[in-house]
Structure 1
Amino acid sequence: MALFPVDVSEAPPIPAARSDSTGHPRRPLLVWVRTGTAHVRIDGDPVFHLTAGQGTWIPADGWHHRAIDTEPGTVAFPLWLQPGADGPSETTRFEVPEGWRDWLIQHFNLQVTPLIGHGLQDAITDLLGRHRAHPPAPSEDPDPLAPFTPPELPRAAGARAVAEELIRDPAIDLTVEQWATRALSSPRTLRRDFLAGTGLTFEQWRLHNRLIAAVEFLAAGFDVDQVAARVGFASRNGFTRAFKLRYGPTPHDFGRRLAASSAHVDLTPRATLARQTEELMAVVRGDASSASELLPAARTPAHANDMHVLSWIYRGSGYLDIGETRHERRRGVATWIPAGLKHVTGLRANSISLPLGSATTADLQLAEPLQVQFPPGWDDYLMHCSISARSGLHPDDYDPAHILDLFAEQVAAQRALSVPMPTDPSARAAAMDYLRHIDISRESAGYDVPAEVHRAFRDETGMTFARWRYAARMRVARDLLAGGARPSAVARRVGYAHLPAFSTAFTGLHGLSPREFQERERASPAARTHDPS
């Protein structure tokens, strides 16, 4: 997998952004300003004006409506804290010590990325396996997964979003109908997507996730009542019954055995986050004496996305595992993870990654990971991209596809994989410029390039520049159609203002209309069209 440097040395300016409380859970909210200025409004209270290094704490019961507005050049992180955070009862402004700032960035990452830990499963399996009198009957435990393995994520976007939110906060107690509304789906579709993607019903998946989280919290030293509340059980008795049915011992016995055992159990990110949230409250109160350590090594469950996902390493290092292949990721590297490929992303200790955005298969044709190295001067802008993509705090004219602009050279190169590229520097520059702007119809301008560029195209590709442009458009069009994009959308993507003109050009080259080509591809995925250009 090639690693490209970003093709510009200076990051774009960070625009103003805003958000409000619509659609967010009623939880404690912490807003931290890394750079610039933000204004936080809470109901009818005075506005909090926050500058770099400052934060404000808003208790769960301290507001009914809030809005965040940031000035240009500002990076502000909205952090929804876990239930049970024992902070001040009133809205509080505070200074964030420098040593805590990277931890807050990682906290944001955990809000939007479902990470699990290393080192827990084997120790817990060994400890509990010795005490489980008999395996549960199939009717009692229909879950086909190993009891200490975190459940897989569904592939469908709506179901996966629900699963990720439940991993971050197992205590959320919504019905399937309520979850379906939030996921812009129907209850029937949501249930079907969970079963098809994980082998579990929604209820089985949620219970499995809650009990895995309970093991993590008990291993971290939380008492049974705290754990029951943190993972979403209404009573201690109900939690004890479910835990005992699943694992054998009661939660109390498990905690006692774990404390008495010599097994070393690393805390998972979810459990460490719960512990460190308690420490964060000392920062809010102004009496923190030392910086918190960052989270330990972590990874995602194995899963596949239905969109290409872009992930950036801000600090430390990580990896991307696809099948038997490991792709290393280091500081500053952003990686496009292709849609449809089952994978695991991991972080090493004291490392931080952030998701920057996503792209559909119609926007980007990608068969293997694509990496770009960004310089440190891009850090603030990339954090702004991550916050915009995942938190709701974004510019009014936010376009999720803007992230592709940062990869113009690399996306153009991907588009040209099967189109001959000239090696002459001037001709190659003209080719890359065309590929970057292939969705803009500029044929009327005639591409006024020097004669030597035209000559280089003829000598090195066997095509005139005009014929090369036509071949490139048709190559991209075929990829988009094979990926399932509508012909009308493909026409716009490759620079045709009107679908009939595109259909005529495509049919003239391939002997099939765009729709007929697409139907043939669906019927025979292995089919390959000969390129007469």
Structure 2
Amino acid sequence: MTSPALLDATLADVRLVDAIEHVHEADELTWVVAGACRIEIGAQRWRVDTETALLIPAGTVHRVVPRPDSIVFPLQLPPGTAQTPTPIARTPALETCARVLLQPGLAADDAVASARAAASTLLRSAGDACTPLPHDPRVRRLAQAILDAPAHPADLEELALRMHMSSRTVQRHFRRDTGMSFGTWRTDVRLAHGRELLERGESVAAAARAAGYRSTSAFVAAFRRRHGVTPGAVAVRD
């Protein structure tokens, strides 16, 4: 029989590491079953918990900082699911897929494949639609102004001045609350607006102008980097 003292000494070593770096060949959805963790990618930080997952593109080095009570899983997804690190709200449909992907031994092979494909589709849609906003009321108003007029040419200095804030303070709020720099956030908003117009039947040139791009070629290049396809692949044709 194992003595209580020996058992206590053994259990003292049964704990999570303080932090660890990972990189995966497949796209990943970081999924928390219990507790919470922090994901660090460069200077960006995200909290991942039982309400929010994080979508991470393949090949992205990320540091996982778990809470002691955490149970965290990386769900592997088909290539092309993730374009940029994106926080994702956990919906009932996504929970259903994750339940199967977390327990493949309790599901048929076709159910696992279907869950992976369905999750990828849900996440691509969520990633395109997801526009996280800063929490500070003034910075949120600034962000909302950009959402209302994505093509407006005002730069960060001018926008910050309107809110009686420094550009450095605005930048800090964007990085902390959205996980993105102001420039990256604004680019995502503009490209999402351009994509919406393309899907409504607008031409690539018209979508580029409405998204705030001075040239169609710059819009095409940015769109390809963000979505993995050219605007022409998304545009509605007669």
TM-score, normalised with respect to structure 2: 0.48
Structure with the bigger percentage of helix = 2
